[in-house]
Structure 1
Amino acid sequence: MNVLDLAYADDLAIMSESTTELEEFIQDFETITQKCGLTMNVKKTLIMSVKQLQQDATGRIIKGQMVNQLDFNMKIRNEKDKHTESFIYLGCCITADQTMEKKIGIRISKASPPFYMLKYCVWHRKTVSYDAKLRIFRACVVPILLYGSEVWALTNIQERRLNSFYMKCLRTIIGANLEDRLSNAKMLELTGQPQIRCYLEKE
C-alpha cells in the first residue's frame, strides 16, 4: 500500500470492495501511520456496508430487494468494529441505503438555526432594506441549505421539500402570511429570487 499524503489525516473515508481488502488496508494503515507518530482513534472508527438493490437478468432494479450484505466481523486492536447506517464526512451525510431523505433533513436542520437567529435583527427589522435582506439570505442561508448539492440526485418529492423551506424563508423575509394566499410564483416575482431548481442545476 502506498500512502501519498498524511498531512490531513484527521477525517478519512476508506472505500473497499471486500472485507479482506479492508482488513489488509487497516493493518497496513496502522503500521504506516504509527511510524509517522499518528494513531487511529478506534472509538471514532465506523464501518458501513453500502446497500445494493437486486437486479434482474436485464439489469433492471428490482424494487425492495437488496443484495446480501457483507458480514463484517472485524477487530481493530482487539476491539470489535462499530457498524453504522450513516455517518457525516466533511459536512455531508453518507447513508448505507444511498437515499437523499436523511441528507435533505440534515441540510434543512443546519440552515434553520442561522435563518431564525436573524429573524428579529434582520428579517423583521424595518430599517434593513429588502434588497439587503435577500443578499444576506443568499450569502448566509442558501449555501448551508445546498451544501454538497453538486452530487445530489433528487426526486420531485425531495426537491419540493427543499423548496418548501426555501419559500417559507422568503415569506418570512418579506413579512407575508399564509392568509395572504400568495403563490410560490408570485413570491418569487415579488422577491426577484430564482427557483430552488435554478440553484440545484447551477450546482
Structure 2
Amino acid sequence: MGIPDHLTCLLRNVYAGQEATVRTGRGTTDWFQIGNGVRQGCILSPCLFKLYAEYIMRNAGLEEAQAAGRNINNLRYADDTTLMAETEEELKSLLMKVKVESEKVGLKLNIQKMKIMASGPITSWEIDGETVETVSDFIFGGSKITADGDCSHEIKRRLLLGRKVMTNLDSIFKSRDITLPTKVRLIKAMVFPVVMYGCESWTVKKAEH
C-alpha cells in the first residue's frame, strides 16, 4: 500500500511485547501476552483498522456500481461495511471476495449481523451453513435506508425521535423558573439536531414540506 518502511518498523516496535492484566472482583489476573487486535484508547488504532479495511477491499478487486454518476461498490464506517451491486450474482461474488480476503488477515465476517436488502426479489442466502437475513430496511450511519428508496420512513422516524426528546424535556419546558430564551436554546441544541440528522440526503415530497 506504499507505507514507508520506517513507519511499519515504528508500529512493530509499538506493538512488540504487549502485555495486559484483567481486574476482577477478587483482584487482578496474571499478566499475559496480547497477540491480536489494536491498542485500546490509542489514537493510532482507528487509522490502523481503516488500513486493514482498505487493504481487504483493494485485494478483493471489487466491481463498482454506478451511483449518482460515480462508481461505488462499498460504504464503510468504522467496522460497518455496506456492499453494493446491480445484480444478486454480483453481490454474492463481492461478498465472497471480501470474506476470503478478510480471513487472510485474521478477520471474520459476522453472519448473524449481516443483512441483505434488494430493490427486487431475492433468494435466500447461506454462508458457512448460516442463513443471511433479508430485510426491507436497515439503519446505516444512524439513518434508515429502505428498499424502495422512500425517505418518508426516515422523516417520520426522525420526527418521532424528536418528539421523544421533547417529552423527556417536558418538566423543563413547563418550569416557570426557566426563561423562554433558555427553552428556545434547549430546543435548538437538543431537539433540532435529532430531527434534522441526515436531512441533507432526504428527497422530500411536496406533501412533506
Whether the 8 Å contact between 2:161 and 2:195 is mirrored in structure 1 is yes
What residue number does 1:4 align with? 54
Change (3 A) 1:138 1:108: same
TM-score by length of 2: 0.60
Change (3 A) 1:113 1:24: same
TM-score by length of 1: 0.62
Whether the 8 Å contact between 1:48 and 1:85 is mirrored in structure 2 is yes
Change (3 A) 1:100 1:84: same
What residue number does 2:156 align with? 105
Q: Select which of 12, 28, 34 maps to 2:103.
A: 34
1:129-144 maps to which residues of 2 (within 5 A)?
129-144=179-194
What residue number does 2:146 align with? 95
Cα displacement string for residues 6-59 of structure 1 (whole angstroms, at most 9, x for unaligned residues): 795522211111122111111111112122322211111111112xxxxxxxxx
- Superposition RMSD on alpha carbons, in Å? 2.2
Amino acid paired to 2:197: Y
Cα displacement string for residues 134-163 of structure 1 (whole angstroms, at most 9, x for unaligned residues): 11100100010011100111113223xxxx
Q: Percent sequence identity over matched residues?
A: 26
What residue number does 1:16 align with? 85
1:114 counterpart = 2:178: no
Whether the 8 Å contact between 1:16 and 1:22 is mirrored in structure 2 is yes
Whether the 8 Å contact between 1:48 and 1:86 is mirrored in structure 2 is yes
* CA displacement at 1:5 relative to structure 2: 5.4
What residue number does 1:58 align with? none
Cα displacement string for residues 50-82 of structure 1 (whole angstroms, at most 9, x for unaligned residues): 2xxxxxxxxxxxxxxxxxx34334321122332
Whether the 8 Å contact between 1:100 and 1:158 is mirrored in structure 2 is no
Amino acid paired to 1:72: T
Cα distance in 2 between the residues matched to 1:10 and 1:4: 11
Cα distance in 2 between the residues matched to 1:153 and 1:129: 37
* CA displacement at 1:84 relative to structure 2: 0.7
What residue number does 1:198 align with? none
Whether the 8 Å contact between 1:19 and 1:70 is mirrored in structure 2 is no
Cα distance in 2 between the residues matched to 1:39 and 1:11: 13
Structure 1 gaps of 5+ residues are 51-68, 160-203
What residue number does 1:146 align with? 196
Change (3 A) 1:140 1:35: same
* CA displacement at 1:106 relative to structure 2: 1.1
Give 3-state SS (helix, strand or coil) of 1:87's partner. strand
Which one scores higher on RCO, CA 8 angstroms, separation ≥ 6? 1
